[in-house]
Copies of this chain bind each other. A is one copy, B any other.
Amino acid sequence: MVPHLVTALEGPINELEQRILESMSAIERWFRLEWMEHTPAFYASVDVRNAGFKLAPMDTHLFPSQWNQLSADMLPLAVQAGMAAIEKICPEAKNLLLVPENDTSDPLYLANLAQLARIFNMAGLNVRLGSISNDVKAPTTLALPDGGTMALEPLIRSPHRLLLPDFDPCTILLNNDLSAGIPGILEELHEQYLLPPVHAGWPIRRKTHHAKAYEELAKRFAKMLGMDHWLITPAHAVTADVDLTTGNGLDALQAQVDAVLTKTRRKYKEYGIHEKPFALVKADNGSPGMGVLSLRDAKELSSAPAEALRGLATTKSGQTLTQFMVQEGVATRERIDAAPAEPVVYTMDRYVVGGFYRTHDACGPEDHLNTTGARCVPLAFEQSVQLPQPGMQPGVNAPNRFYMYGVVARLAMLASSYELEATDPEMEISD
């Protein structure tokens, strides 16, 4: 189920969208069967791009922030989904420990934390914030943009548990992607549920593991719908041991860019798409704030400014990354006012609970929008009295054009389930 949100889309429904809308019952059942075998990522946000002829998840965030950017109407959906999630993990839970990013200086990030706390508070949990940052040595008061406050406390580690004073949580929710490294305090917590697990953090996670899991799922999904999986999948490749500062290994990366562009060009030809393909280069374990290179030709890589290459490879904490994902670029056809926009879809447990458009006035439709200057435009519920019901009242209701975004986002979230199962270090040990 995907709530009916107002999209910026105009114009007729194309073949791809029509196929997805018509197959709703089959799609929902397909997901239901998948959830019998796999555990959903606790929460996620998925950046989706809609090129018209093609729809694709470009980034799947397993420590989603910006919950404050969802419209207030969405809150009950998130709370309901949060209840469902908690109930499965730890039904007797009283307390939830929320671990924020180490840097809590951004008021918008604080608004995100307040919204997460609100969701789980309404789901029946006492929520407190515990920091893994070494800088938080005593309880601190965080001033929220709306005038309220929240307390941020240093964590206490007992031999087997993470605690706060008078607060022994059964579940610890990470809203910290661990890009600064995995602190020892989070290790060996066998008595508490740490969600998402540590191996979902960037020190261990790889974008290309996710892309691979997504591609395999998309193949199965597309087969069910009788369509080409490329229509919902960006091609990808991986290159290791690239030192962008010295240029060592750049040729291998260039070869992969070329391969992705060639593959895309072939597909464009097959579908009669008269556009010029482009490819993105992202650090395979780079966090969202890091640079992304967009290339129309592999050769552009060798002439790229040193600063751009540094941004691509250097983490916030100054570490240099050497493994890169090449990803087929997908332009966005959606616009908010004149600016290009991409839907960002939020999931909790197995449910789509809302979304917003990310838009950027200084960007073009092929640009990466998740950069400084991006704005969020919350998606409102469609206010039409009735919602679409395939097969029952054709033509009477406006179709839910947000539905396809919810489908692709859930596919990406499900791919994360597969990805985290495959990369679970405890599973590997037991093999």
**Which residues of A approach B to under 8 Å, CB–CB?**
1, 3-4, 24-29, 31-33, 35-36, 72-73, 75-77, 79-84, 86-87, 91-94, 114, 117-118, 121-126, 144, 146-150, 350-351, 381-387, 389-393, 396
Inside 8 A of A148's CB, which chain B residues have their CB?
392-393, 396
Q: A35-B87, A393-B146 are in contact. Are A72 and B122 (CB under 8 A)?
A: no
Assembly CA distance A25 to B383 (angstroms): 32
Task: Give Cα A381 to B31, complex, Å.
Answer: 29
Q: Is the CB of A73 within 8 A of B121?
A: no
What 8 pairs between A and B have smallest CB-CB spacing?
A28-B124, A148-B393, A3-B76, A1-B79, A118-B389, A29-B124, A36-B91, A1-B122
Give the docked Cα–Cα distance between A33 and B390 (Å).
Answer: 38
Interface centre among A24, A114, A144, A386 (most CB of B within 10 A): A386
Is the pair A83, B389 in contact by a Cβ cutoff of 8 Å?
Answer: no
How many subunits of this chain does the assembly comprise? 2
Bound together, the chains give a CA A393 to CA B36 distance in angstroms of: 39
Q: Which of A83, A382, A383: most chain B CB closer than 10 A?
A: A83
A76: chain B residues at CB < 8 Å are 1, 3-4, 77, 381
Cα distance A53–B392 in the bound complex, in angstroms: 47
Within 8 Å CB of A27, what residues of B? 124
Complex formed: what's the CA distance from A69 to B144 in Å? 38
Chain B residue with minimal CB distance to A30?
B124
The complex places the Cα of A72 from the Cα of B147 at a distance, in Å, of 33
Contacts of A81 in B (CB 8 A): 80
Closest chain-B Cβ to A25's Cβ sits at a distance in Å of 5
Q: Which residues of B contact A146 (CB under 8 A)?
A: 386, 393, 396
- Asked whether B91 lies within 8 Å of A392 as measured between CB atoms, the reply is no
Q: How far is the CB of A32 from chain B (nearest CB, A)?
A: 5
Q: How far is the CA of A79 from the CA of B390 in the complex (A)?
A: 15
A123 to B25, CA, bound (A): 7
Is B393's CB under 8 angstroms from A123's CB?
Answer: no
C-alpha spacing A81/B1, complex, angstroms: 10
Q: State the Cβ distance, A113 to closest chain B Cβ, in Å.
A: 11
Cα distance, A163 to B84, chains bound together (Å): 32
Nearest CB on B from A122, distance (A):
5
